[in-house]
Amino acid sequence: MNSYKATRQYLFSKLPMYQRKGKKAFKKDLTNILKLSEFMGHPHESFPSIHIAGTNGKGSVAHGLAAILQQMGLKVGLYTSPHYKNFRERIKINGKPLSEQAVTQLTKSFKPIIEELQPSFFEITTAMAFKSFAQEGVDIAIIETGLGGRLDATNIITPILSIITNISLDHMDLLGDTLALIAEEKAGIIKKNTPLVIGQYDPTIATIFQTKAAAMNVPLYFADQQFQAITHHHRLQELCIDVYKEEELLYKQLCTDMTGPFQTQNLLTILQAAELLNELGFAYCRQNAFDALTQVKSLTNMIGRWQTLATDPTLILADSGHNEGGMEITMDALQKLDYQQLHFVLGTVKEKNLNTILALLPPNAHYYFCKADIPRGLPTSALKSLAMKYNLKGTAYNSVQEALQAAKEAASNQDLIFIGGSSFVVAEVI
């Protein structure tokens, strides 16, 4: 295991990976990560951290907040999942992925404990992130949960700030089949005396967070109750908003390259977190947000979210929204764009509740059904058969690339090609 290629093969073949195996790779237990932490000398205790959970928007909030902290001159660790093109995307410092050499060295040092514990892929990558952030001496780390929160491997940290973006139905086979049950799992990241930001107020589950926050002496902020946003303009490459608090204009024409109408809510969550930084010992000023949010993608290497792949001759967009809440917002965004015909390259995974998702998709689009090149991918024949029940018509293809090529050949210059349904489908085209 002296090369990165051999190391990567070892990690992918040796460790159960949710990205490929699904539920069988999910460990609802903190035993392994606690033992890994002890083996490493508890590296997560050597740097302050911000912990982010939620159903949708975790990655966008994590990247946006990382950009602001980087703009403030800090050395920022960022741990997110899953990766799109390269495993090293999961662990970044000031936007730069962990080096191949670092991955190889860390894996070699972890090998004895890997062989002993047989941890999951996510458990070992979490440990790797904590160790690398400690070794590199980051000023602060932003840690995104994988699934849930309470029993997520990241939940051994004691952050200075906790963020829960929103709650929607997703991973119901693991987290529960109601919003309340899922909220309880996400609320598991709340720590005593640690400020909590909730991105989206939902009256049906708000009391779950309010009750736990009160019991743990936690200051609680619902971002969309604290701030109000008015869209100034929204283009493919830029979203610009005015942000108010109690009728006072705090951010005039705040612009970001994190595009898509759903990013407005994420921006409010990011700003609420940023406004707390001074109380947490970091010298934040609002100009930091103006300077950072226009260049989130270049500062943090953010990809896969409402990403423009081409504009000439045909507009091609890709987005990794894959659950009911995310897909509903994405479809609303698509309806607001100007095009003649929608060509939808669609793929998903086996364990999704597709009935609720397919019911949201437009029947007047032409569909190109495909399967991502992972074992969890839903076979195209099954996807097409189920889609037909919702009057979604199209053709099944052997691969994502074949489906995209067919869409390109069929689309006119005035049409729109959209690729989505799964982050794994998006990963094969960006």
Number of domains in the chain: 2
Q: Are residues 296 and 358 in the same domain?
A: no
Q: Are residues 346 and 382 in the same domain?
A: yes
**Single pTM value for the model:** 0.91
CB 370 within 8 A of CB 399: yes
Residue showing tokens 């965004």: 333
Q: What is the pLDDT of residues 159-169, one digit of tens each?
A: 999 999 988 76
HEC assignment per residue over the chain: CCCHHHHHHHHHHHCCCHHHHHHHHCCCCCHHHHHHHHHHCCHHHHCCEEEEECCCCHHHHHHHHHHHHHHCCCCEEEECCCCCCCHHHHEEECCEECCHHHHHHHHHHHHHHHHHHCCCHHHHHHHHHHHHHHHHCCCEEEEECCCCCCCCHHHHCCCCEEEECCCCCCCHHHHCCCHHHHHHHHHHHCCCCCCEEECCCCCCCHHHHHHHHHHCCCCEEEHHHHCEEEEEEECCCCEEEEEEECCEEEEEEEEECCCCCCHHHHHHHHHHHHHCCCCCCCCCCHHHHHHHHCCHHHHHCCCCCCEEEECCCCEEEECCCCCHHHHHHHHHHHHCCCCCCEEEEECCECCCCHHHHHCCCCCCCEEEECCCCCCCECCHHHHHHHHHCCCCCEEECCCHHHHHHHHHHHCCCCCEEEEECCHHHHHCCC
Output the pLDDT for position 179.
Answer: 85
The last residue of a domain, from among 300, 321, 356: 300
C-alpha angle 186/242/52, rounded to 5°? Answer: 15
Q: Are residues 319 and 338 in the same domain?
A: yes
CATH (domain of 370): 3.90.190.20
Q: Are residues 292 and 322 in the same domain?
A: no
Q: What is the pLDDT of residues 211-253, one digit of tens each?
A: 999 999 999 999 999 999 998 888 888 999 999 999 999 999 9
User: Residue 118, by phi and psi: left (phi above 0), alpha (psi -120 to 50) or beta?
Assistant: left
| Domain enclosing residue 278, as ranges | 4-300
d(CA 239, CA 333): 13
Q: Are residues 342 and 269 in the same domain?
A: no
The last residue of a domain, from among 300, 324, 352: 300
Q: Are residues 276 and 316 in the same domain?
A: no
Output the pLDDT for position 1.
Answer: 64
Q: Residue 352 forms beta bridges with which residues?
A: none
Is residue 393 over pLDDT 50?
yes
Tokens of 10: 């070892």
d(CA 157, CA 352): 30
CATH (domain of 80): 3.40.1190.10
CB 388 within 8 A of CB 395: no
Confidence of residue 266 (pLDDT cuts 50, 70, 90): very high
Q: Are residues 43 and 9 in the same domain?
A: yes
Q: Are residues 330 and 225 in the same domain?
A: no
Q: Length of the chain in residues, anyone? A: 430
Q: Which residue has the higher pLDDT, 67 or 170?
A: 67
Is residue 201 over pLDDT 70?
yes
Q: What is the pLDDT of residues 324-354, one digit of tens each?
A: 777 888 888 888 889 999 999 999 988 777 8
Q: Are residues 275 and 319 in the same domain?
A: no
Pick from 67, 61, 107, 99: nearest CA to 80: 61
Q: Are residues 329 and 275 in the same domain?
A: no
Mean of the per-residue pLDDT values of the chain:
91
Q: Are residues 376 and 272 in the same domain?
A: no
The last residue of a domain, from among 284, 300, 316: 300
Q: What is the largest CA-CA distance in the chain?
A: 60
Tokens of 202: 């939902």
Is residue 430 over pLDDT 60?
yes
Q: What is the pLDDT of residues 1-29, one digit of tens each?
A: 679 999 988 888 876 554 444 444 445 67
Q: Are residues 255 and 344 in the same domain?
A: no
Output the pLDDT for position 42.
Answer: 97
